[in-house]
């Protein structure tokens, strides 16, 4: 976690408020720090130095620790639009990145106006979030997941049981990276594990047979931690400390490479997507249950997984009560065949003549004299 010494006092206070009072994780607060520091640098360049479009490398060199609160009080919504436009055109920020910056700005100015009472008006009160393109999450197929877990190449490694257990928990429980590295031994009880998610929200996830076997195999060879601070950590590094998020990423990269799945953009978070997708596709887990497993606040967040199940859509189509209906065979109308060689053209149907007379309309026959 950064010490935020490069920030003005009001920004430092906001960051510590988010960390200690609101209970945001250090990584989340560090992200706020990066986004708001960039915003204040832009404001200093645009409003004080009269340079609204500096080169990105020059902007990064600007110090903001002395940026007065008076300048912040003069910020308008137009200034914020200018910042977002600059981040789009000069820094190449996509809609998702700019949406994150909007979220940071909203929280920051809400704190300055309603919590710290340092500002009278909130310039971003009516600021909208950039429209985000809803895309299907990237995930491993069932076959790829099996290839990843069935890789026996590292079986001779001292960390094989630990690494296999990590991947098994990711693919079966759909936990976040931060949740996995934060698991303590005391969090595991029988067939459940307690996870600490976003906003310090706890949830209980059940462990299936594969997870229980992987945990038992790992705990049988787990070495004691080196430091007292790591004594409760479930997953330890080779040095005996709580394993870091970066080390978990490296482990996944190594296993993906051995399984021939490297270079496809798979990450620990993609394994979370994989777990959710496989549960929905093959386990036919209800979307509301899946929401609780993943620890989503909103059901709309979980609904992205309903768009990736071609298999379920195929099954749903086949279960229609009308799926067995087929069209009736068309009845063929008989036609009179003729020999074109006799007349040179299509021959008219022959007329009927009564014999020995002509039949009248009343059914009687008139005989010719």
Q: Give the catalytic positions in this structure.
A: 176, 198, 269, 272, 296, 305
Total Cβ atoms within 10 A of residue 209:
9
d(CA 56, CA 58): 5
Phi, psi of 267 (to 5 degrees): -140, 175
d(CA 369, CA 361): 20
Alpha helices in 4-121 (DSSP H): 9-20, 26-43, 56-59, 69-73, 77-89, 95-110
Is residue 46 a contact partner of residue 52, using CB atoms and an 8 Å limit?
yes
Burial 246-267 (b: 16+ CB within 10 A, else e): ebbeebbebbbeebebeeeebe
With DSSP H G I counted as helix, E B as strand and the rest as coil, what are the percentages for the chain, rounded to 5? 50, 5, 45
Rg (CA), the chain: 36
- Tokens 């060199």 found at: 61
* CA atoms lying within 13 Å on the CB side of residue 355: 2
Burial 95-118 (b: 16+ CB within 10 A, else e): eeebbbbbebbebbbebbbeeeee
d(CA 283, CA 208): 13
Task: Assess whether the previous peptide bond of 356 is cis (omega < 30° from 0).
Answer: yes
């Amino acid at each position: 976690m950064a010490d935020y010494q490069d920030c003005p006092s009001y920004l430092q206070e906001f960051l510590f408020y988010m960390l200690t009072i609101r209970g945001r994780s250090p990584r989340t607060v560090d992200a706020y720090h990066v986004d708001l520091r960039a915003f204040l640098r832009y404001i200093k360049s645009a409003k004080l130095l009269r340079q609204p479009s500096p080169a990105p490398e020059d902007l990064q060199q600007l110090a903001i620790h002395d940026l007065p609160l008076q300048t912040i009080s003069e910020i308008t919504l137009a200034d914020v639009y200018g910042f977002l436009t600059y981040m789009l055109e000069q820094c190449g920020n996509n809609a998702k990145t700019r949406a994150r910056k909007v979220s940071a700005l909203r929280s920051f100015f809400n704190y300055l106006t309603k919590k710290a009472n340092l500002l009278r008006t909130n310039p971003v009160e009516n600021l909208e979030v950039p429209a985000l393109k809803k895309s299907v999450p990237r995930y491993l197929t069932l076959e790829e997941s099996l290839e990843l877990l069935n890789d026996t190449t590292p079986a001779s490694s001292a960390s094989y049981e630990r690494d296999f257990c990590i991947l098994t928990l990711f693919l079966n429980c759909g936990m976040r990276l931060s949740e996995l590295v934060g698991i303590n031994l005391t969090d595991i009880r029988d067939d459940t594990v307690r996870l600490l998610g976003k906003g310090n929200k706890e949830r209980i996830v059940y462990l299936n047979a594969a997870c229980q076997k992987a945990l038992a195999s790992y705990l049988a060879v787990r070495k004691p931690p080196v430091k007292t601070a790591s004594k409760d950590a479930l997953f330890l590094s080779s040095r005996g400390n709580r394993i870091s998020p970066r080390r978990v990423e490296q482990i996944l990269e190594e296993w993906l490479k051995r399984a021939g799945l490297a270079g496809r953009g798979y990450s620990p978070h993609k394994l979370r997507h994989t777990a959710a997708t496989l549960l929905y596709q093959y386990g036919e887990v209800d979307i509301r249950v899946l929401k609780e497993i993943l620890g989503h606040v909103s059901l709309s967040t979980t609904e992205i997984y309903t768009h990736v199940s071609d298999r379920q859509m195929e099954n749903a189509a086949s279960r229609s009560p009308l799926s067995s209906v087929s069209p009736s065979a068309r009845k063929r109308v008989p036609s009179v065949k003729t020999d074109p060689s006799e007349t040179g053209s299509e021959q008219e149907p022959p007329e009927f003549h009564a014999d020995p007379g002509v039949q009248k309309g009343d059914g009687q026959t008139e005989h010719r004299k």
